[in-house]
Amino acid sequence: MINLELIRTDPDAVKRAAHAKRVDIDIDHLVELDREVRRSTEQLDTLRHGLKQASKQVGAGGEGRQVAKELGDRVRAAEQANRELRARFDALLARVPNILAPEVPEGDDDRDNLEVRTWSTPRTFDFPVRDHLELMLGLGMVNLDGPRKFAGGRSYALTGPGALLELAVLRYALDTVVGRGFTPVIPPVIVREQALFGTGFFPGSREETYQLPADDLYLVGTSEVGLVAMHSDSILAEEQLPLRYAGWSTCFRREAGAAGRDSRGLYRVHQFTKVEQVVICHADPAVSEREHYGLLDNSETILQSLGLPYRVALACSGETGLGQYRKHEVETWMPGRDSYSETHSCSTLLDFQARRSRIRYRAGGRNEFAFTLNNTAVASPRILVAIVENYQNADGSVTVPEVLRPYLNGLEVITR
């Protein structure tokens, strides 16, 4: 959540951010609720003080028993009213969006994103282009029919070279970012509600999240949740920062309502594997901006070394999530879709997650809320879509990108 002082001192800035992000929230009502909570708390403190004084009189000479009883009843009633008021306030505050970086363009959806740059030129084929599903089925890289019998729609099993190619690209991405100073982590993928609230996925993304009702637990859609939550309710030493993590995890998303061409093949599935970059750093916008572009560079380096054409776009306000201050989307060229399609999302959240997760660090004799950032290093099977489609050959085989061959015992071409 954002700093409450900003809402109190500059509510118009928060209103502008909400409008730009297309978030329907009544900031004026929130400000009034804040005043009511403070008035209620002051009244409660006064009653508690009065009860304390009356209780002393009862203990000293037995006088004032009736006064103390009446004050006790009033305190309990005031406490209940205060709790209810705070609950209403907290529920509304949790829906307040973060402010936006000045350079973020206003817009409704990805059509309004601002293209920043492209890398390489999409390949021109001199034979009919196959999509990834045709290629992978033909090469024994994926099984759809079997898994969908027992696991339902959008289920799949990577098989043979498909499984090995996923492991190769994930390990290559992990090795790349670890080589740049990131600590590898395999975090839990089953978490409590607070972890999802703390990272800003709740309350807004409940419909996208798988729940385990019997245990009151949830499956994560990104290892970002666990990497940030590891430090919840903690005070870090300043010299620990920045913390840079590379999280490897299976991820789960319901993809409620997704349809159309995205539902074919492996582009949009319920279960996938991802290497995610997460940074926890000083509460300094300049430091945060530097870390943001460092995360972006890591992902671009991976795509360039894989030889995959891509473009980088600055997400417009309507595409920037509740807690995001700045977001770049990296879209990789996919010949089967004849378009650039999202494969990476690089986000700066300032102290939005740290406030919700209570992550602080000690600096200059005081505790400061840290800043957090994240970006995909690589996500599979979506990255496999780009690899097999861009590296396909006329005979239906797929050439293995050179940087992945050491992870595949030197295999150069996947054939049937």
Which residues are tagged catalytic? 253, 268, 342, 345, 382
The one-letter amino acid code at 152 reads G
CB 405 within 8 A of CB 391: no
SS3 content of the chain, % helix, strand, coil (to 5): 45, 20, 35
> Could you give the count of Cα atoms lying within 13 Å of 234 in the half-sphere of its Cβ?
10
CA dist 285 and 293 (Å) reads 12
Name the token pair of 388: 């097999």
Q: What are phi and psi of 28, to 5 degrees?
A: -60, -40
Neighbours of 316 (CB within 10 A): 22
Name the token pair of 188: 């839990």
Say if strands 371-380 and 243-252 run parallel, antiparallel, or are unpaired: unpaired
CA dist 261 and 36 (Å) reads 50
CA dist 103 and 16 (Å) reads 14
Stated length of the chain = 416
The one-letter amino acid code at 271 reads Q
CB 123 within 8 A of CB 149: no
